[in-house]
Every structure is written in structure tokens, then in C-alpha cells.
A and B are shown apart, each in its own frame.
Chain A
Amino acid sequence: MLLTINGKKRRLDVPPMTRLLDVLREHCGLTGTKEGCGEGECGACTVLVDGVAADSCLVPAAQVEGCEVVTIEGAAAKPWGTALQNAFVEHGGAQCGICTPGMIMAALPLKAGASRDEIKTALAGNLCRCTGYISIFNSVEAGLKTRLPRRAKVTRARRR
């Protein structure tokens, strides 16, 4: 099967029902995507599939044929990517860090200046046991207020 992972075209030979999570972690060595429950409850395995946040533990490989998948390793190339990553460090959004990649991926599709309710809704499928979520909301809010770094702007322009 063919798909794009973090901007690179990949051809993979995997059984069609392999979980996207395993495709990424075992076949592509992208271990930044985490498994917390394997049943779509915790969101630690969140990636973007064609720009939409999805639990990669619930997505069979066959379903992403021809899709563009972005993982935490590719987040920096997305608008807000580095801004969100930096904000999670500066505002206490990352403690043990196991939910962090999923949180950042779930927040990536948000628009500049998203309200707290919009942030909560975007993260509703992601569990964190360390923070009580407040510092995660603060991190996302701060990240989305950051002026976009030049690199991200260029990437976005090119993709259009």
C-alpha cells in the first residue's frame, strides 16, 4: 500500500487489518505515537489523517491507503507545530509526557485564537492523568497565540 507519512511517500507491505498505530511504531520506527488503551478511549495514539485527528489504534492500515498521515515526529512542519510543542514545555502541559504527543496532535487542527471551549472539545478524546488538564489548556491557548514561525508559514504556502 501507498501512503504519505510526515510528508514522505511510503510503500508498505502490511496486512490490511494491521492497526495504523503498529504500522507507525513497528514498521516505520515512529515511536512518538503512544498506546494507552488500544480501544480508542485515551487518545495517546492520536495522529492526523488527512488533517483530521484520529486514534491510530482504531484505524486499520487499509483505511489509510493514499492518505496523508502526520505523527508527532512530523508535527513541527505543520502550522502551530513548534509553537504548540514549545508551549507545552513552557506552560506545564507535559509532565510524564506519555499523553503529550496525542494532545499536541489533537490540538494541531485548531485555529488561531481558539476559545477554551473549542480547545476542550478538540481534546475531549484525550486523557491525561498528571495535569488535571488546566496546564494543557493553558499550553494550547498560549501556543495558538504565538506568531507563526517562518518555517511553518513557508510549509503552509508550499502546500497550497
Chain B
Amino acid sequence: MERAVGTSVRRKDGDAKVTGAAKYIDDLTFPGMLFGATIRSTIPRGEIAATHLDFSSDFIVADYRDIPGKNYVALLDPDQPCLAERQVRHVAEPILLVAHADRRALFGIESRVRFDYQAQPPNYDPETSDTCFKQIAIDKGDIDRGFRDAAVVVEGEYRTSHQEQLYIETNGVIAVPGDGQITIYGSLQCPYYVHKALVVLTGLDPARVRVIQTETGGGFGGKEEYPSMLACHAAILAMKSGRPVKMIYDRVEDLLATTKRHPAIIRHRTGLARDGRLSAMDIEVIMDGGAYATLSAVVLSRGLIHAAGPYRCDHVRIRGRAMMTHTPPNGAFRGFGAPQTQFGVEAHMDRIAESLGLDPVRVREINALRPGDTTATGQKLGQDASALLVLREAVKRSRFKQKRRQWRGTNRGIGLSLFFHGSGFTGAGEVKLASKASLELTATGARILVASTEIGQGTRTMLAQIVADVLELPFAAIDVHEADTDFVPDSGPTVASRTCMIVGKLLERCARDLRGKLGTLTPAQYLKRHGPITVTQQYEPPPGLLWDDQRYAGDAYGSYAWGCNVVELEVDPVTYEVTPIHVTAVAEIGKAIHPLMAEGQVQGGTAQGLGYALLEEVVMRDGRMANAQLTNYIIPTPMDAPPIEVAMLESPYPHGPFGAKGVGEMPIDGPAPAVINALRHCGFDLRSIPATPERLMKARS
């Protein structure tokens, strides 16, 4: 029989999406439905002294006193209120909720509310902040000895700024109240995160809370934690009014209020032997968490584990902290801390090469992690450590060395970056999650039951391919149940490049189990003889995977995907505009279950990374995003898209389904440093992104 894995089968959600039949949250209506809106703080920090309302009786108005359970958005730390009570910590913090039957009645709703504030002085500088959300230290070897052995020391400071996920579908949910229960429909990545938050907020029994993901128009991390907040708001209004309530953010509100990528300051002090070998890496990372903890602790963690890059060095010291500032909380965004820290280390590597008079490929070749080497956390890498493989492939394909020579002194530049990305939750995270996946036998095949969501990346299709091949059934015989907490088990969140490697593996085990039970029977025969059957598997760590959370040492991830980017660009000598002209993106991901979709992840992530590098700037003025519109928060358009040549390499990971590792996030780690290194090749000494024309002009003068 023809195999599905490794072929680009027709994606399951494709036809509905191209005909307009797919139903996104704003496409749904319920009888008697109201529309909800949020009244937010207009100051960055202070206390609400008095509230003045001017609403007629046809409005439903709710505040924190309408919360039946606990007033915080349950995630990691219980510090973020669902609705501010007295203290506000950032602009656009939710204070009141309003609902009305006519959506138009909510336009300009803010004018009906006035708050008297007692303002307090805000702080926007993470370095001077007196509140630390999380500190992490990673130590390997003896840093002092590493520096004693060094012939050369290179130092540098690198900075990255906010980035908005900018899914094209804004955040939105509908809450439907029932008799002592609540159902949420929404655009979201993690149904069970929303479920957990609702249980805490409503005080309802978990069985009385139901979360259903609707077709989701992009996530990129931006629908990891924020939908919990929004679902809580809609639930409060729905319970107060007894009617379904739809809340859809417009683009301005989505940009002003929801999470962004953490800005970061990364400082490197590196000791090297004369030949370019790393002898000591001393790294400091400061992340701006914004006003509440949200996911900052884990973003910092992933950032630090990737901070030394894909390089071997015996003596490493990494110190990091996530600090509070009075801006809207920063949160999950594809890459989750690693794009920031790998920007730092990769920009630094080119400066190291420059100070030693080495070429940027050579300095990376000497130091790249090889199978059997250990990472900064002391993880011994397996045979699928592919740093050298991707580096050599990218250099060869792009004719890097030749162009590097030819273009010197011109307005054209070429730069590269080498990077890696751990698949799955960090450290003991997957063990703590203890995810489950189920497979139900149907008359013609099987139905997948997981909470992993389709957000465009191809979850439904990719998981069905894995199951089809193990069961030796056609791809079309495998259905995927919608992500509905009343039916699917908790397979963990759809984040961290974990859906294929972790949940895919669980389903592979389910399918093997089911296949054993079927024996020689067809599904129809089995059902007739034995009745319905559903098999469930729970995560078990691969043998030997060990992590010490106290020392922050050990096997940080089951495996890593590896990437190398070469960016070729041109700088306009008059306007300082940068035009990327070609990108080579080499990715080693274990196994491409669906080559076309995997390539789509690499192309899309690379384009998003080019936006991060060159265009995307969140202008924060007095704690408020000043450019909260698509007109002036600029993402790449079709006219900005350079050709991206993707090469997919496969070094199978023995514990992934069919050898697969994660692919979703890694592609965004590489473009920004490759761009900065290409600009360095053109003579611009830039240490921060985005590399806007204004910054380039300054760097030149």
C-alpha cells in the first residue's frame, strides 16, 4: 500500500479553506447572542479611585465583583487579574466588560466610562526594575579557567525589540452559558489552558466547563495564553446576562492589549584560543516581561538554554532574568526566547570572526556541536546533531564564500546564521504535562482524539498520516475529531514544536496498540465482533532522558532541529532601505512527515524572521503601543518576499514518529542574525533589530 508519511497528501482542511466554507469564530452566531467589549486602563500604573458610568439599561456591565470564582488568569503564577480591582499595572489593562445586542452600540463605548486614577510612576526599563519574575543560572565547567586559557576576549551587547505575532485573524471567542455550565468556542491554540483558566474563574466543576476550538486563523504563540483571558471575559458576561456573548477584537485592540515577543538585552563575553576555538562563554540575558508574569519564566528558560548557540564550549556561564515593566505583558511567540538569544550569539560570532581575522564559516565549523558533544546544560547529543551538516549544505548551495569575496565593498551583502531549536517542553516539562492521545476505531478506519489544534501548520493532516501508515490504512480512512474538551484528552498545548514529535509519537503508539488488537480483522469486522474501542497512550520519557531542575542541567530537550540561513541583501545607499534578494534556508528536522507543509513552515517562519530583522517595530510611547494599526506596524507583504530556497535534511531522531523532530519554531531563529551579519558585510556595525533605515543611517554616520 502507498505510504502517507513522506508524501504531500492533500491537507484535510484545504477544501473548506479555499471555498470559504471553513467557519472561524467570527463566522458563528448563536440565538440571542450579545456582543462584548472591554473597557481598559488608559494609564500605565496607578490606582482606580473612582469609576463613573453612563450606561442605559440595555447594556450589561460587569466588573471584578461579577467573577464567581478567583480573579486571576490561571496559567503559571496567579498574579494577573482577569479584571483589575484597584491597581492597574499597564495601559490597556481590562477593568470593565460591557455587552449589548447590537454590535454597533459598542462603538466608542469608552466615552461612557470615566475613571479617576491616582497615577503612580511607571518604569519601562527592565534593567532598573525592582521586580524580577524569574532568574535562571546555567553553569558548565569552570568559567574562570576558561578565561585564563583564552588568548582573546570578545565582548558585545545585542538588543532585540518587541514583535507582534500578527495572525491575520484577531483574537476572538464566544461564551455560551448553560444550566450551571459554560461552553467556550474560540480561536485558540490550547483548549486545556482555557479550560483550566475557566475552572478557576467560574469555580465550576471541570466537567461543567467545555472548550471547543474553532478554525483558527494563525496563532504563532499569540493564541497560547491570551485566549484564556478573553474566554474568561466572555464567560463573565455570558453568566451575568444568561445569553451567549461574542467577543472579537478589532486589529487596534488586538495590537494594544495582547502579548508580544519579549524585548531582550543579551551581553556576551567570550574567551577564545588564537585559532578560534571557544574556551569560555559568559552570557547575560535580560528580558522585559511586561506587567505580569504570564509565560516569562519559561520564555526565559528556553532563551537561556539556546543562548550559547549550537556550539561546544567547556566553560559556560549563563545568567538570565525576566523583569517586570509597566507595559502590556509579553508572552509566547514562535521561538519562545530562542530568537532573541540566538540573535545575540550569532551576531556575536561574526564579530568574533572579524576580530580573529577568520571567515564566518570557519569559526562556526571549528565550534559547531557534533554528535557526542555536550550543550551548555551538559546534554550529550545523539547522532542526529546536525550543525555541521546544515552549515556545509547552506554554504555550498548559496556559494557563500564566492559571493562574500565578490561583494565586499559593494552595496550587496551576504551573511549567515547557524542555529538549533529544542523540540517539546523544556527539561521535565513533558513529564509534568503527561500528555495523552487517543485513537478510536471507526467502521472504515480510525478517529484521532487529541487536544492538539490545527492553526494552519497542518496538525490534522500530519497526525493522520502517521496513524494511517502505522495502521496500514489509506490516509482518507483516518478522521480527526475537533479539539473539544468534552471529547478529546489533554494532549498538552499546541506550542513548543511539540505536536509532531510528542503527540505524533503518542498516536504512533496508539496506532500500534490498535493494530495489534485488530490482528487480521478489518475495522468493520472488529467492531461487529467486539464492539467499540478507543485506545489511549500517555507520555513516557525516552530512556535515559534526565533533567535536574535545581542545577538547570541535563537533557533540556528530547532532541533538536538544526538550521542554517544565508541571507543575501542589497542596501540602497540613498534611502538606507534594505532589500533581501535571496535566502537559503537549510533545515534538519529528522523526518518531513509532509514535505510541502514542512517547507511551508520553513518559508513562513523565515519570512516572519525577516520581518523581525528589518520591518517590524513596536513603538512604545508612555507604555502604549503608538503604532497599533496595520498601516504603521509593517509586516512583509508579497512585494517584500524574497525567494526562499529551502533544503530539508533528515537525520532521524529514534524517539520521534518516523524519526521526526519539531519544525514549527526553528525557522524564525535564524533570519535576524543572518540579516545583521549580511549588513555587517556591507559595512554596517549594527547590534540591534529591527534594522530600519533610520538605524542603518545612524550606524553609518
What residues make up the interface of A, taking CB atoms closer than 8 Å to B?
A: 25, 30-39, 41-42, 44, 71-73, 75-76, 84-86, 88-92, 94-101, 104, 120, 123-124, 126-137
Segment among B17-25, B269-277, B473-481, B497-505 that sits at the interface with chain A: B17-25
> Given that A96-B455, A97-B456, A98-B168 are known contacts, is A39 also in contact with B629, CB under 8 Å in the complex?
yes
Tell which of B13, B603, B643 has the most Cβ of chain A within 10 Å: B603
Which residues of B have CB within 8 Å of A71?
20
Give 15 CB contacts A-B under 8 Å: A31-B24, A38-B251, A39-B251, A41-B631, A88-B17, A95-B218, A95-B458, A96-B456, A97-B217, A98-B217, A99-B168, A123-B638, A129-B608, A132-B605, A134-B641
A98 lies within 8 A of B21 (CB)? no
Which residues of B have CB within 8 Å of A34?
24, 26, 168-169, 217
Which residues of A have CB within 8 Å of B166?
129
Contact of B27 among A31, A120, A131 (CB under 8 A): A31
Contact of B168 among A32, A72, A128 (CB under 8 A): A128
Contact of A39 among B13, B18, B219, B630 (CB under 8 A): B630
Which residues of A have CB within 8 Å of B605?
132
Nearest chain-A residue to B10 (Cβ)?
A89
Q: Determine whether B57 belongs to the interface, using a CB cutoff of 8 Å to chain A.
A: no
Q: How far is the CA of A126 from the CA of B641 in the complex (A)?
A: 12
B691 → A minimal CB distance (Å): 19
Closest 9 CB pairs of A and B: A32-B20, A96-B456, A98-B217, A97-B17, A132-B607, A89-B14, A72-B20, A41-B630, A31-B27
Which residues of B have CB within 8 Å of A104?
18
Q: Determine whether B457 belongs to the interface, using a CB cutoff of 8 Å to chain A.
A: yes
Q: How far is the CA of A104 from the CA of B597 in the complex (A)?
A: 19
B631 lies within 8 A of A85 (CB)? no
A142 → B minimal CB distance (Å): 12
A32 lies within 8 A of B19 (CB)? yes
Q: How far is the CA of A34 from the CA of B606 in the complex (A)?
A: 25
B638 lies within 8 A of A120 (CB)? yes
Nearest chain-A residue to B630 (Cβ)?
A41
Q: How far is the CA of A45 from the CA of B64 in the complex (A)?
A: 36
> Given that A132-B604, A134-B603, A134-B643 are known contacts, is A89 also in contact with B217, CB under 8 Å in the complex?
no
A124 → B minimal CB distance (Å): 5
Which residues of A have CB within 8 Å of B169?
34, 36, 96, 98
B251 lies within 8 A of A96 (CB)? no
B314 → A minimal CB distance (Å): 39
B18 lies within 8 A of A129 (CB)? no
Nearest chain-B residue to A94 (Cβ)?
B17
Q: Determine whether B599 belongs to the interface, using a CB cutoff of 8 Å to chain A.
A: yes
A132 lies within 8 A of B603 (CB)? yes
Q: How far is the CA of A99 from the CA of B597 in the complex (A)?
A: 17
Nearest chain-A residue to B248 (Cβ)?
A35
A132 lies within 8 A of B606 (CB)? yes
Residues 452-472 of B contacting A (Cβ, < 8 Å): 455-458
Q: How far is the CA of A88 from the CA of B17 in the complex (A)?
A: 9
Nearest chain-B residue to A15 (Cβ)?
B104
Q: A44-B168, A127-B168 are in contact. List 17 more A-B contacts (CB 8 A).
A: A34-B168, A34-B169, A37-B251, A37-B629, A39-B630, A41-B630, A42-B168, A72-B19, A73-B19, A85-B15, A85-B18, A89-B17, A92-B600, A120-B638, A129-B168, A132-B606, A135-B603
Q: How far is the CA of A88 from the CA of B19 in the complex (A)?
A: 10
B217 → A minimal CB distance (Å): 3
Q: How far is the CA of A86 from the CA of B11 in the complex (A)?
A: 11
Q: How far is the CA of A90 from the CA of B20 in the complex (A)?
A: 16
1/0 per residue, CB under 8 A from A, across B199-221: the answer is 00000000000000001111110
A153 → B minimal CB distance (Å): 20
Q: How far is the CA of A36 from the CA of B633 in the complex (A)?
A: 14
Nearest chain-B residue to A122 (Cβ)?
B638
A120 lies within 8 A of B644 (CB)? no
Q: How far is the CA of A132 from the CA of B585 in the complex (A)?
A: 13
Which residues of B have CB within 8 Å of A92?
8, 596-597, 599-600
A39 → B minimal CB distance (Å): 6
> Given that A37-B630, A98-B218 are known contacts, is A135 also in contact with B168, CB under 8 Å in the complex?
no
Q: How far is the CA of A113 from the CA of B33 in the complex (A)?
A: 47
Q: How far is the CA of A76 from the CA of B457 in the complex (A)?
A: 26
Nearest chain-B residue to A132 (Cβ)?
B607
Q: Determine whether B637 belongs to the interface, using a CB cutoff of 8 Å to chain A.
A: yes
Contact of A132 among B250, B455, B631, B641 (CB under 8 A): B641
Q: How far is the CA of A94 from the CA of B27 in the complex (A)?
A: 18
Contact of A130 among B250, B456, B641 (CB under 8 A): B456
A14 → B minimal CB distance (Å): 12
Tell which of B168, B600, B608 has the most Cβ of chain A within 10 Å: B168
B225 → A minimal CB distance (Å): 19
Which residues of A have CB within 8 Å of B456?
95-97, 130
Q: How far is the CA of A132 from the CA of B641 in the complex (A)?
A: 7
Tell which of B11, B169, B599 has the most Cβ of chain A within 10 Å: B169
A10 → B minimal CB distance (Å): 17
Q: Determine whether B232 belongs to the interface, using a CB cutoff of 8 Å to chain A.
A: no
B34 → A minimal CB distance (Å): 15
A131 lies within 8 A of B603 (CB)? yes
Which residues of A have CB within 8 Å of B629?
37, 39, 41
B639 lies within 8 A of A135 (CB)? no
Which residues of A have CB within 8 Å of B21?
32
Nearest chain-B residue to A102 (Cβ)?
B168
Q: How far is the CA of A85 from the CA of B166 in the complex (A)?
A: 24
Q: How far is the CA of A8 from the CA of B150 in the complex (A)?
A: 78
Q: How far is the CA of A137 from the CA of B643 in the complex (A)?
A: 11
Which residues of B have CB within 8 Å of A136?
638
Q: Determine whether B299 belongs to the interface, using a CB cutoff of 8 Å to chain A.
A: no
Q: How far is the CA of A131 from the CA of B608 in the complex (A)?
A: 9
Tell which of A35, A75, A95 has the most Cβ of chain B within 10 Å: A95
A98 lies within 8 A of B24 (CB)? yes
B20 lies within 8 A of A120 (CB)? no
Q: Determine whether B635 belongs to the interface, using a CB cutoff of 8 Å to chain A.
A: yes
Residues 161-215 of B contacting A (Cβ, < 8 Å): 165-170, 215
Nearest chain-A residue to B603 (Cβ)?
A132
B20 lies within 8 A of A129 (CB)? no
Which residues of B have CB within 8 Å of A38?
250-251
B168 lies within 8 A of A131 (CB)? no
Nearest chain-A residue to B22 (Cβ)?
A97
B631 lies within 8 A of A131 (CB)? no
> Given that A120-B638, A129-B604, A130-B600 are known contacts, is A39 also in contact with B220, CB under 8 Å in the complex?
no
Q: How far is the CA of A123 from the CA of B639 in the complex (A)?
A: 8
Which residues of A have CB within 8 Å of B218?
95-96, 98, 129-130
Q: How far is the CA of A44 from the CA of B251 in the complex (A)?
A: 13
> Given that A38-B251, A39-B630, A124-B639 are known contacts, is A31 also in contact with B168, CB under 8 Å in the complex?
no
B347 → A minimal CB distance (Å): 23
Q: How far is the CA of A134 from the CA of B585 in the complex (A)?
A: 13
Which residues of A have CB within 8 Å of B596?
91-92, 135
Q: How far is the CA of A134 from the CA of B635 in the complex (A)?
A: 15
Which residues of A have CB within 8 Å of B11?
89, 94
Q: How far is the CA of A153 from the CA of B630 in the complex (A)?
A: 39
Q: How far is the CA of A129 from the CA of B220 in the complex (A)?
A: 9
Q: How far is the CA of A132 from the CA of B596 in the complex (A)?
A: 13
Which residues of B have CB within 8 Å of A96?
167-169, 216-219, 455-456
Which residues of A have CB within 8 Å of B458?
95
B628 → A minimal CB distance (Å): 11
B457 lies within 8 A of A95 (CB)? yes
1/0 per residue, CB under 8 A from A, across B625-664: the answer is 0000111000111110101100000000000000000000
